Amino acid sequence: MPSKAKQFRELIARPGPITIIGAHNGLSGRIGEEAGFDGLWASGFEISASYAVPDANILTMAESLSAAKMMNDAVKIPVIADCDNGFGNAINVIRCIEEYEKAGIAGICIEDNIFPKRCSFYAGVKRELSPVEEHAGKIRAAKAAQRDRDFTVIARTEALIAGWGMEEALNRGRAYADAGADMVLIHSKSKSPEEVLTFAKLWDRPNTPLVCVPTIYKDVKVEELGKAGFKLVIFANHAVRSAIKAMTDTLQTLRKEMFTGSVEDKVVPLPRVYQLVGVDKMATDEAAFMPSESKGVTAVILGAGQSQGLLPLTENVPKPMLDIKGKTVLDRQIEVLNSCGIKDIAVVRGYKKEAISLSGVRTYDNDAFASTNEVESLFAAKKELGGQFLFLYGDILFERGHLEKLLKSPGDISLVVDRAWADTKANQPAGRGLPDLVQLKDAQETGYRFVGAEAPHSVAKLGRNVPNDQAQGEFIGMALFSDKGARQLTDVYNQLVESKGKVAEAASLREASMTDMIQELINRGTEVQAIDVYKGWLEIDTFEDYRRAWALIKE
């Protein structure tokens, strides 16, 4: 890729005039590039306006340079920087050249205004030009200071602006060309292009091409200026002026109407901003260079059902909203989930759904909760099942360690199984509901003796129909589905929707519990793993369970 200075030289070497567009920051520069201009003009007028100060050497060189660099960095086309009078004398010009070259700017323009300058168009302000020798000295200093031979130095005379006449303008232009300027800019604030066209006609330094800025003589076309001998035409300030017009219109309307929809037709849609600032590239770079962190686990909590066993406690609230010593079951679940880094939480509501509304938790509704079972509740939150997710009943309390262990499971479908079942089955507390029992494949050991067994067990059977003496554990109501596991579950669900068949022992999807669904997956050859735990959890399904929870929870 040739340097920007070289690119600009190549543009100048092309037949016909080239046009560059005024800009004041990266965004306006990028819009100018997108519009197809040959290059950018880092306009002192626009940059000053963007700081809300007059164009009168009020900004420092560093401020002007930083704006020029911002635009240069935002575009591939070359940038010519308006350096006013070089920010001082020839010594200031030398530093100016060094710094702008270092920033990758293709060339600069310096004008023969004294320091501090006044914008060429301001009426009623004091206007003075530097002596011609002084400005020619600045041009010589600039040419001597540049390192890249392709860097362009444009000398600008304000003689016509100051009203010093055509002869003075020509003499100054010649002096600057003879001092080594690569191009000469003749500025004019006449409403007619005649002044600059006459200048071009009388110009007698054919090796020094001419530049003009048709701001006030606005009806002349670039083509005509080109024919008259102008090589470079600068549209100096139209980006900032159009921005001011649009912003004024939009903001005044908005202030009057006081709702953002009132200006929707005056603003670009947000994606246009994303496109301009390169959000696409950022996304590609993220994918290419950042560790692909899995989206994280989403917890889906089933809280739709109504529990007869807990009446009258659940007369007005669903089970997850039952209070146990000042915190609801759901609060306690969310606390443990959050402490394990799970912040993405969805709850499926049904019975007394209005009672479940928590900030930061998404809710889904199974309004047919009275006539459907758990699988239909889970699939009310179908949107959440597109990737890895944690399945959780809304009525269990469990130790954080159980969740930590489950989250480490490499399996695609993993169930937390309480192996204390074998040791405690003869001794179950009074009033417990029917347990979801688990029969493992190849289980040689039972009860606490499993501790230390490394290889995960596969689940052969689960549900309330597993006979007591064949069970090695109890499903606690918490399961982890990997991306693949979630896909397997959804595929089987979709097939069952189509076939309207049985779901394991359940007659239909509407009647299917989660254990029926997992059994159906196992029956179809899907591997389901048991993650062993020993006690450390509670289900709150009956009044007795609830009393036990009050007794066991310490706080």
Binding site for Mg ion (CB under 5 A): 44, 82
**From CA 308, how far away is CA 117, in angstroms rounded?**
87
Nearer to Mg ion, 59 or 392 (CB): 59
Crossing angle of helices 165-178 and 132-145, in 10° steps, is 30
55 counts as catalytic: yes
What does the alpha-carbon distance between residue 207 and residue 529 come to, in Å, rounded to a whole number? 84
Contact assessment for residue 106 and residue 79, using Cβ atoms and an 8 Å cutoff? yes
Among Mg ion, ligand SPV, none, the one that 473 touches (CB under a kind-dependent 5 to 8 A) is: none
Residue with tokens 């219109």, as numbered in its chain: 249
Q: Which of 25, 43, 152, 388 binds ligand SPV (CB under 6 A)?
A: 43
Is residue 22 within the footprint of ligand SPV (CB under 6 A)?
yes
DSSP 386: G
Min separation Cβ 234 and Mg ion, Å = 10
| Residue 71 beta carbon to Mg ion: minimum distance, rounded to whole angstroms | 15
44 touching ligand SPV, by CB under 6 A: yes
**3-state secondary structure (DSSP) of residue 21:** strand
Q: Which 8-state DSSP code applies to residue 143?
A: H
Pick what 213 binds: Mg ion, ligand SPV, none; C-beta below 5 to 8 Å, kind-dependent: ligand SPV
Nearer to Mg ion, 31 or 154 (CB): 154
**Does the footprint of ligand SPV cover residue 220 (CB under 6 A)?**
no
> Smaller CB distance to Mg ion: residue 82 or 412?
82
CA distances from 496 to 378, 414, 503, 524, 537 (A): 15, 22, 8, 12, 32
Residue 155: name its binding partner from Mg ion, ligand SPV, none (Cβ under 5 to 8 Å by kind).
none
**CB 68, min distance to Mg ion, A:** 12
Number of H-type helices and E-type strands within the chain: 19, 21
215 or 513: CB nearest ligand SPV: 215
Q: Are the C-beta atoms of residues 506 and 272 closer than 8 Å to each other?
A: no
85 binds, among ligand SPV, Mg ion, none (CB under 5 to 8 A by kind): none
Per partner kind, with CB cut-offs from 5 to 8 A, the member of ligand SPV, Mg ion, none near residue 33 is none
Q: Is 474 helix (H, G, I), strand (E, B) or coil?
A: strand
State the DSSP string of 152-217.
EEEEEE-TTTTT-HHHHHHHHHHHHHHTT-SEEEE----SSTHHHHHHHHH---TTS-EEE--SSS
- Asked if residue 82 binds ligand SPV (CB under 6 A), the reply is yes
Out of ligand SPV, Mg ion, none, what residue 237 binds, judged by CB under 5 to 8 A for its kind, is ligand SPV
Q: Pick one of 64, 215, 366, 482: the residue that binds ligand SPV (CB under 6 A).
A: 215
Evaluate whether 136 touches 179 at the Cβ level (below 8 Å). yes
In the complex, the smallest distance separating the C-beta of residue 111 from ligand SPV, rounded to whole angstroms, is: 7
Q: Which position among 113, 237, 298, 513 is part of the footprint of ligand SPV (CB under 6 A)? A: 237
Q: Which two tokens stand for residue 467?
A: 């006979």
Residue 236 interacts with ligand SPV (CB under 6 A): yes or no: yes
Instruction: Give which of Mg ion, ligand SPV, none residue 92 binds (C-beta under 5 to 8 Å, depending on kind).
Output: none
- Select the residue interacting with ligand SPV from 61, 65, 139, 213 (CB under 6 A): 213
Kindly tell me which of 82 and 195 has the beta carbon lying closer to Mg ion.
Answer: 82
Site track 513-532 with ligand SPV (rule: CB under 6 A), x = hit: --------------------
Set 38, 55, 344, 516: catalytic member: 55
On the 0-12 / 13-18 / 19+ scale of CB atoms within 10 A, 297 is buried
> Does 32 help bind ligand SPV (rule: CB under 6 A)?
no
User: Segment 383-442, which members bind ligand SPV (CB under 6 A)?
Assistant: none
CA–CA distance, 261 with 242 (Å, rounded to integer) = 22
DSSP 8-state secondary structure symbol assigned to residue 109: E
From 323, 319, 434, select the one nearest 369 (Cα to Cα).
Answer: 319
Residue nearest to Mg ion (CB): 44
Q: Where are the beta strands (DSSP E) in 228-350?
A: 230-235, 298-303, 323-324, 327-328, 344-349
Q: Residue 414 gets which letter from DSSP?
A: E
Does residue 545 touch ligand SPV according to CB under 6 A?
Answer: no
Query: Which of Mg ion, ligand SPV, none is residue 38 near (CB under 5 to 8 Å by kind)?
Result: none
Beta-carbon neighbour count of residue 292 at 10 Å? 7
CB of 191 to ligand SPV, least distance (A): 14
Binding positions for ligand SPV, 90-129, rule CB under 6 A: 119-120
Minimum gap (Å) between residue 27 Cβ and ligand SPV = 17
Q: How far apart are CA 462 and CA 471, in angstroms?
A: 8
Interface residues with ligand SPV (CB under 6 A) are: 22, 43-45, 55, 82, 119-120, 213, 215, 236-237
Q: Hey, which residues are catalytic here?
A: 55
